[in-house]
Amino acid sequence: MNWDWDKLREQQKKQQNFNQSPGGGGGNGLPPMDDFVNFFKGKKLPAGLIILGLIVAFLLFFGNSMFFTIDTSEVGIVQRFGKYDRTVYPGLNFKFPAGIEKVTKVKIKRVFKEEFGFTTLSTTQTRSLISNQDSNDVENVSLMLTGDLNVALVPWIVQFKVKDPYKYLFKIHDARQVLRDLSESTMRLVVGDRSINEVITKREEMALQAMENLQKALDSADAGIDVVTIEMKRTNVPLPVQPSFNQVNQATQEKEEMIYNAKEEYNKAIPAAMGEAEREIRQAEGYALNRINRAKGDAQRFTAVYEEYKNAKDITKRRLYLEMLNELIPKMQEKYIIDEDQNNILPFLNLGKASK
């Protein structure tokens, strides 16, 4: 009779254990169970001892599922018979045993991360996959159509927290999946309204818009999730197109360089030419001064000489003439004197030699 009773209790306990496990809360596996069963097999012990053993086992079992700790990063959501009852906070907590109350711990302080379009393991891997076919998922996540119907590679990260553990647990079936899907559709919405140029250059702006839209979508799905940040990784064009984009960058550089060179040439020439012009003008001014001063000097000299000449015209003229000859003749290297009657002297002179 006792034997049957034991067996039934054991069955019930198993049942309870089974009930309790999806709760994810209290008791962990109860390893004493197997020992307990083995212990009774083939052995007969006094009834008192058996009952004592059972009580100890019950205490262990329920005690384990009645007291639990909540870590500092978590809260516990306690359900009584399935209905939400209360939220418990970090520390040691008490609840009714499994089957009546169940606790689910939610890490509300922890920031979770979802990556899209790349894996942190190796970025080179994702890069090499870009040219592959539609089968590859990592590639497909980041591959997007832009508003001007080009193709861009947009990898990003969503960081999120559980804002409302009640909604997070009870309002949506698979919060992670909802988050992933909404992130993808939101990012495509944002990219779909931008040109390829904007997708490549305006990542900040896109991240902000995506964050705003994703938060709205999550709120309307009642997901209880708070988007902490969306971080855009390096956006790019697909690998086969990349060289042509680099070409454009290079061409931009070349353009800048050409303009820069021309400006340099301009700056080299113009100030120099202005200086040159200034010099020319100064020179002309110098010329003018020189000419005028000299002219004045010459004029004064002439006037002075003339004043004296006026008084003795003939003699002064003769004197000046002879003085001139006196000065000139010693400087002559060859002098020929020809009688006025002698007319054909010129052929004898070797004039060519002189010019040589």
Partner 1 sequence: MKNNSIAAAIFIIILLGGFLGYNSAYVVDETEQVVITQFGRVIGETIYEPGLKFKLPFIQKALVFKKNLQHWDGDKGQIPTEDKTYLWVDTFAFWKIKDPVKYFQSVGTRQGAISRLDDILDAAVRNAVTSNPLVETVRWTNRELDKIVEREDTADINTGRKKIEKSILLSAQPKLDEFGIELVEVQFKRINYVSDVRNSVYKRMIAERNQIAEKFRSEGRGKSAEIIGQKEKELEKIRSEAYEKAQALKGQADAEVTKIFAKAYGVDPEFYSFIESMDIYKEKLASGDTKFVFSTNSDFLKYLKGLEKF
Residue ranges in 51-110 that form contacts with partner 1 under rule CB under 8 A: 79-84
Query: How far apart, in whole angstroms, are the C-alpha atoms of residue 87 and residue 268?
Result: 78
Q: Is 117 left (phi over 0), alpha (psi -120 to 50) or beta?
A: left
Q: Closest Cα partner for 111 from 75, 76, 155, 158?
A: 158
Going residue by residue from 122 to 151, which x/- string records binding to partner 1, judged by CB under 8 A?
Answer: -----------xx-----xx-xxxxxxxxx
End-to-end CA distance of the chain: 160
Query: How far apart, in whole angstroms, are the C-alpha atoms of residue 244 and residue 263?
Result: 28
> Phi, psi (5° rounding) for residue 69?
-115, 145
Task: Name which of 111 and 349 has its Cβ closer to partner 1.
Answer: 349
Task: Name which of 122 and 257 has its Cβ closer to partner 1.
Answer: 257
Q: Is 300 in the site for partner 1 (CB under 8 A)?
A: yes
Task: Name which of 53 and 147 has its Cβ closer to partner 1.
Answer: 147
Q: Is 192 in the site for partner 1 (CB under 8 A)?
A: yes
- Smallest distance from partner 1 to CB 3, Å: 12
Q: Six-digit token pair at 345? A: 């002297």
Q: Is 311 in the site for partner 1 (CB under 8 A)?
A: no
Q: Token match 């018979």: residue?
A: 81
Task: Name which of 52 and 305 has its Cβ closer to partner 1.
Answer: 305
- Smallest distance from partner 1 to CB 295, Å: 4
Between the alpha carbon of residue 214 and those of residues 141, 178, 186, 187, the distances in Å are: 16, 11, 6, 8
DSSP state of 236: B
- The secondary structure element, H or E, covering residue 255 is helix 242-311
- Piece in contact with partner 1 (CB under 8 A), picked from 32-40, 59-67, 178-186, 227-235: 178-186
Q: Token match 């020992």: residue?
A: 35
Q: Is 276 in the site for partner 1 (CB under 8 A)?
A: yes
DSSP state of 97: P
Instruction: Write out the binding residues for partner 1, residues 252-271 only, by CB under 8 A.
Output: 252, 254-259, 261-263, 265-266, 269-270
Choose which of 164, 219, 222, 231 interacts with partner 1 (CB under 8 A): 222
Choose which of 91, 287, 312, 315 interacts with partner 1 (CB under 8 A): 287
- Smallest distance from partner 1 to CB 72, Å: 25
Instruction: Write out the binding residues for partner 1, residues 231-250 only, by CB under 8 A.
Output: 237-238, 240-241, 243-245, 247-248, 250
Choose which of 39, 51, 298, 315 interacts with partner 1 (CB under 8 A): 298
- Smallest distance from partner 1 to CB 157, Å: 18
Burial code (b: 16+ CB inside 10 Å, e: under 16) for 273-294 equals eeeeeeeeeeeeeeeeeeeeee
Q: Is 121 in the site for partner 1 (CB under 8 A)?
A: no
- Smallest distance from partner 1 to CB 31, Å: 26
